[in-house]
A and B are shown apart, each in its own frame.
Chain A
Amino acid sequence: MSELPQEVRELDGAILAFIQKGADHRDLVEFNNLALRTFEFQYNHIPLYQLYCQRRGITPQGLSSWDQIPPLPTDVFKSTELFTLPSHIARTFMTSGTSMPNERGRVHYDEGGLRLMDATIFAAASAFLVPDGVKTLILIIAPPPDIAPHMVMAYGMDRLKDYFGLPQSHFLVGREGFQVKDLVNALHTSEQEDIPVTICGGSFGFVNFFDYCRRKRLKFQLPRGSRCLDAGGYKGKSREVGRGEFLDYCEKFLTITRNFCINLLGMTEIASQFYDNTLRNSIQGVHAASFKVSPPWTRTLVVNPETLEPLPPGEIGLLRHFDLANRGHICAIQTDDLGKMMEGGFEIYGKARESEAKGCSLTIDEMTRAMEE
């Protein structure tokens, strides 16, 4: 594959340097400069996005602030390819889309974009997953990238393993599914040899493991410094109950206390990850309710679900993220997650769309379920 254009390399260099400054600053001026520069690049290289912006009367010249950049609804990735450098695609991640296989969102990365993503993984995890600098044995309840090449979580966890894991760190989901005995053995070894572990994976994988522990009457006394990193949520349960139960199980089955349980929001459409500040607060001695932090190379807005206009702080609406590491596709992404703004981040309450029908007409979800039966 040919080398990336000079313009891209320069832009990436600037974004990379900004990400590498870490999570301890809030440089809005530089963020804004880079956001506008990246927007201009995307505007010039994605003709459809350019038309989309023009319809809204927006051009790079007329823009002064990152929050005026037109956001792209996540569903657009399900039907339209939007990428700045189509001849440089190095990797494609896809959304899960279980019910409609043709309806999976596709997000492309070039080599430069992957380097940006890697940098965000390193910088964000340094601040929020290992703020204490402890190296652990990383055990991943997810398939490795060679089995799930399009799964962004597999890619990200692989990077975490390489950056922060002890040599025996590994994935626990193979072609035959979740190797639960492998996890049990690894945890026993960790107990005996006093090696702290990081268990990470999708929230639902954890729940499966806890069920297994309950059936087999298993409990682990994991060494100090061990931690849990779960990504996503648990469908069908309210936030409070779901999270509270989850944390109780971590303590009960793994002896990992709440301050060492970190939740992560990752999305295929967004290169960066949003960690909560639970462990970071704990290490820094900050006593405050935790929330998801938007690291310095990202910003998050909450918008009115009807009009998509930004809402005042404190109101609940849809989350809209801006991520400089999205240089390859579109920085501004409109999600359908419900949430609330916090100082430097946000709280997330789950998918707005998982709400029940009000009338007697068949709904999209209902029909999907009925047709699957």
Chain B
Amino acid sequence: MEVIEAAGYYLPQGFEKHVKAFTTEVYQAPEIAVHLKVPSVSGAMVEVLADHLKKEREKYLAHQPIERIIDVLDEASRRWLGKNYPYRELALKTIPVITGFSREVVEASIDAEMESSLREDIWQALRSEIKNPLYLDDFQYSPELDGYCRAFGPKLIVSFFSENIPGLPHLLFMRSALVKAACLGKVAAGEPTFAPLYLRTIEEIDPGMANCMAVLYWRGGEEEIEEAAFNQADAAILFGGIEACNSLTKRIPRRIRVLVHGHKLGFGVIGRKRLRHQGLEDLAAAVAYDCSMFDQRACLAPHGYYLEEGGEVSPQEFAQALSAAMAGINEKTPRGKISPGEAATINQLRGKYEFKELRGDDVLLVASPHGTDWTVIYERDPGTFRPSPLNRALWIWGVDDIFRILPTIKPLSPFLQNAAVAIGDEREKEFISRLGELGITRITSPGKMPLPSMMWHHDGISPLASLLRWCDVEKKDEIRGMETSKK
């Protein structure tokens, strides 16, 4: 039995003396156990910590040039992409034990996250949101203003993560660093190890930057602790369930900037022109990939794909091709362990659709022969959006005209996020516009759903620019000391 000691927290250097006690939680899997060390957290401790983080920021991060910060983040991503990097190896051991994800799924998600977090992506993301990243360092001449602008980030961002998608928390620490804010992250009980390991990488590269960051876990809803955090913060970023986010938002003081990323859903649409025998296998593999990454638990994943009838390949035929692709992916990147409730939901759904199939309804159920590894259910669009039980269970809905799905999607407006679209004819532009109007915030191709770029306006907002406060200097005459910036 291998026993791994892991930390479910990250604290700045020298801060551990403020922790009154640590407890150890044990996660057990066959042949491996993770002993997770977690500090006991109190409101008083969080208050001291938040203050400490802000002081460290004032001392160090606030004065680092953006170029230096980007270099550090780039170096961190590169280290994590190295197959033999010890922290990556550690994450690949601990996360499967704690979350149930297979090692292969965790590995694929780390690769995907880190590959889109390299130097050029980061510069691009900043340019896309604020045009000139140097605004973060100092006043720069703005030709639009014909004056000088500078962007100031928050002093302390508090981030809540309530899910166990490996990789998401690191994105938030990146964003905080880019706006030169200290960051206190509250991780989910379900996945407390990735963020601390990521911050240890930052510590290796730039201890001063790591000293402005911390990761803790406490049970969501501990009002005293959360109040202590909010009292010190000037921005909050929330990831989580709709009810959890609502309850938190109510308790956040109004002076704090809040960005909310509640649970969302995605789907795909394939037009009849794209349903052809040629390339069918590739298209099926792309859809299977969308549904299998993160075991379909991420908001980026599709609950179902709408397929237009009348193409060379019928939606039913596509469902068959898809099932072969699902089986293929499951062999290479097996789905993780799921809870009894999740398995029961999938088995009940399968039973229900098997009987629909037996009684001659226009449905098709194709599923992994043993267990609930993957499930594909074809039926004609029922006219109401039925969420999937997830964990690699995908709906294939047949529609006679893709535009007919719009009324079905409309009531879901607040929850819409990703759509994969492949129409293959001149209707594509119109269709994309309509999806945009309905609230979709990212449209991509099948096979690309789990891989948003750093440039994506995450849930429709500018994730970096939304955190900034601008100071504009509207003075036509020269300002002493600023002339060098004017082009």
Find out whether the CB atom of A317 lies under 8 angstroms from the CB atom of B348: no
Inter-chain contacts of B390 with A (CB < 8 A): 359, 361, 363
Complex CA distance for A358 and B297, rounded to whole angstroms:
7
Given A351-B341, A358-B190, A362-B299: A308 and B347 interface contact (C-beta under 8 Å): yes
Closest to A356 in B: B241
Find out whether the CB atom of A353 lies under 8 angstroms from the CB atom of B264: no
> Is A360 located at the chain interface by the 8 A CB criterion?
yes
Inter-chain contacts of B414 with A (CB < 8 A): 370
- A373 smallest CB distance to B (angstroms): 9
- B450 smallest CB distance to A (angstroms): 11
> Is A287 located at the chain interface by the 8 A CB criterion?
no
Given A48-B358, A362-B387: A73 and B239 interface contact (C-beta under 8 Å): no
Find out whether the CB atom of B352 lies under 8 angstroms from the CB atom of A357: no
> Is A182 located at the chain interface by the 8 A CB criterion?
no
Find out whether the CB atom of B355 lies under 8 angstroms from the CB atom of A353: no
Complex CA distance for A363 and B339, rounded to whole angstroms:
14
Find out whether the CB atom of A357 lies under 8 angstroms from the CB atom of B348: no
Find out whether the CB atom of A360 lies under 8 angstroms from the CB atom of B352: no
Find out whether the CB atom of A79 lies under 8 angstroms from the CB atom of B349: no
- A344 smallest CB distance to B (angstroms): 24
Inter-chain contacts of A352 with B (CB < 8 A): 339-341, 343-344
Find out whether the CB atom of B190 lies under 8 angstroms from the CB atom of A361: no
Within 8 A of A (CB), among B60-117: 99
Within 8 A of B (CB), among A338-360: 338, 351-355, 357-360
- B111 smallest CB distance to A (angstroms): 19
> Is A75 located at the chain interface by the 8 A CB criterion?
yes
The stretch that binds A, out of B161-169, B201-209, B224-232, is B161-169
Complex CA distance for A109 and B372, rounded to whole angstroms:
33
> Is B19 located at the chain interface by the 8 A CB criterion?
no
Inter-chain contacts of A367 with B (CB < 8 A): 265, 387, 412, 415
Inter-chain contacts of A371 with B (CB < 8 A): 411
Which of A78, A358, A370 lies in contact with B163, CB distance below 8 A? A358
Given A74-B348, A79-B356, A317-B340: A362 and B264 interface contact (C-beta under 8 Å): yes
Find out whether the CB atom of A359 lies under 8 angstroms from the CB atom of B415: no
Most buried by A among B99, B241, B261, B264: B241
Which of B264, B370, B388, B412 lies in contact with A307, CB distance below 8 A? B370
Give 1 or 0 for each of A306-319: 1 = CB within 8 Å of chain B CB: 11100000001110
Complex CA distance for A79 and B382, rounded to whole angstroms:
14
Find out whether the CB atom of A360 lies under 8 angstroms from the CB atom of B411: no
Which of A74, A75, A359 lies in contact with B298, CB distance below 8 A? A359
Closest to B411 in A: A371
Find out whether the CB atom of B241 lies under 8 angstroms from the CB atom of A361: no
> Is A334 located at the chain interface by the 8 A CB criterion?
yes
Give 1 or 0 for each of B279-311: 1 = CB within 8 Å of chain A CB: 000000000000000111111010100000000
- B276 smallest CB distance to A (angstroms): 30
| A-side interface size class | 35 or more
Given A74-B348, A360-B299: A305 and B263 interface contact (C-beta under 8 Å): no
Complex CA distance for A51 and B242, rounded to whole angstroms:
42
Find out whether the CB atom of A359 lies under 8 angstroms from the CB atom of B165: yes
Which of A52, A318, A357 lies in contact with B355, CB distance below 8 A? A52
> Is A72 located at the chain interface by the 8 A CB criterion?
yes
Closest to B344 in A: A336
Find out whether the CB atom of A366 lies under 8 angstroms from the CB atom of B356: no
Find out whether the CB atom of A357 lies under 8 angstroms from the CB atom of B344: no
Which of B265, B299, B342, B358 lies in contact with A51, CB distance below 8 A? B358
> Is B58 located at the chain interface by the 8 A CB criterion?
no
Given A352-B341, A360-B168: A80 and B415 interface contact (C-beta under 8 Å): no
> Is B439 located at the chain interface by the 8 A CB criterion?
no
Within 8 A of B (CB), among A47-106: 48, 51-52, 55, 72-76, 78-80, 82
Closest to A350 in B: B341
> Is B354 located at the chain interface by the 8 A CB criterion?
yes
Inter-chain contacts of B163 with A (CB < 8 A): 357-360
> Is B243 located at the chain interface by the 8 A CB criterion?
yes
Inter-chain contacts of B265 with A (CB < 8 A): 361-362, 367
- B240 smallest CB distance to A (angstroms): 8
> Is B221 located at the chain interface by the 8 A CB criterion?
no
Find out whether the CB atom of A73 lies under 8 angstroms from the CB atom of B299: no
Count, chain B residues at interface, CB 8 A: 55
Inter-chain contacts of B371 with A (CB < 8 A): 306-307
Find out whether the CB atom of B344 lies under 8 angstroms from the CB atom of A48: no
Inter-chain contacts of A74 with B (CB < 8 A): 348
Find out whether the CB atom of A359 lies under 8 angstroms from the CB atom of B356: no
> Is B250 located at the chain interface by the 8 A CB criterion?
no
Find out whether the CB atom of A359 lies under 8 angstroms from the CB atom of B164: yes
Inter-chain contacts of B339 with A (CB < 8 A): 352, 355, 358
Find out whether the CB atom of B342 lies under 8 angstroms from the CB atom of A355: yes
Inter-chain contacts of B359 with A (CB < 8 A): 48, 80
Within 8 A of A (CB), among B226-277: 239-243, 261, 263-266
Inter-chain contacts of B303 with A (CB < 8 A): 361
Complex CA distance for A48 and B359, rounded to whole angstroms:
6
Find out whether the CB atom of B299 lies under 8 angstroms from the CB atom of A361: yes
Inter-chain contacts of A72 with B (CB < 8 A): 351
> Is A288 located at the chain interface by the 8 A CB criterion?
no
Inter-chain contacts of A363 with B (CB < 8 A): 263, 387, 390
Find out whether the CB atom of B372 lies under 8 angstroms from the CB atom of A359: no
Give 1 or 0 for each of B384-399: 1 = CB within 8 Å of chain A CB: 0011111000000000
Closest to B355 in A: A80
Inter-chain contacts of A355 with B (CB < 8 A): 339-342
Complex CA distance for A336 and B347, rounded to whole angstroms:
9
Given A75-B352, A79-B356, A338-B340: A361 and B301 interface contact (C-beta under 8 Å): yes
Complex CA distance for A361 and B351, rounded to whole angstroms:
24
- B319 smallest CB distance to A (angstroms): 18
- A17 smallest CB distance to B (angstroms): 33
> Is A217 located at the chain interface by the 8 A CB criterion?
no
- B387 smallest CB distance to A (angstroms): 5
Find out whether the CB atom of A359 lies under 8 angstroms from the CB atom of B387: no
Closest to B240 in A: A360
Find out whether the CB atom of A353 lies under 8 angstroms from the CB atom of B345: yes
Find out whether the CB atom of A75 lies under 8 angstroms from the CB atom of B348: yes
Complex CA distance for A49 and B371, rounded to whole angstroms:
21
Find out whether the CB atom of A336 lies under 8 angstroms from the CB atom of B348: yes
> Is A215 located at the chain interface by the 8 A CB criterion?
no
Closest to A318 in B: B344
Which of A307, A336, A361 lies in contact with B297, CB distance below 8 A? A361
Complex CA distance for A118 and B90, rounded to whole angstroms:
61
- B204 smallest CB distance to A (angstroms): 29
Most buried by B among A51, A351, A364: A364
Complex CA distance for A364 and B342, rounded to whole angstroms:
11
- The 22 listed contacts between A and B (C-beta, < 8 Å) are A78-B352, A79-B356, A80-B356, A305-B344, A306-B343, A306-B371, A307-B371, A317-B340, A334-B347, A334-B351, A351-B341, A353-B345, A355-B339, A358-B99, A359-B297, A360-B163, A361-B297, A361-B299, A361-B303, A362-B242, A362-B415, A370-B415
Q: List 5 A-B pairs, minimum CB-CB distance, nearest first.
A: A359-B297, A73-B351, A355-B341, A336-B344, A305-B343
Chain B interface (Cβ < 8 Å from any Cβ of A): 99, 163-165, 168, 190, 239-243, 261, 263-266, 294-299, 301, 303, 338-345, 347-352, 354-356, 358-359, 370-372, 386-390, 411-412, 414-415
Chain A interface (Cβ < 8 Å from any Cβ of B): 48, 51-52, 55, 72-76, 78-80, 82, 305-308, 316-318, 334, 336, 338, 351-355, 357-364, 366-367, 369-371
Contacts A359-B297, A359-B298, A362-B263 supplied; 20 other A-B pairs, CB < 8 Å = A48-B355, A72-B351, A73-B348, A73-B352, A74-B348, A79-B356, A305-B341, A305-B343, A317-B340, A355-B339, A358-B99, A358-B297, A360-B165, A360-B264, A360-B298, A361-B299, A364-B345, A364-B386, A366-B243, A370-B414
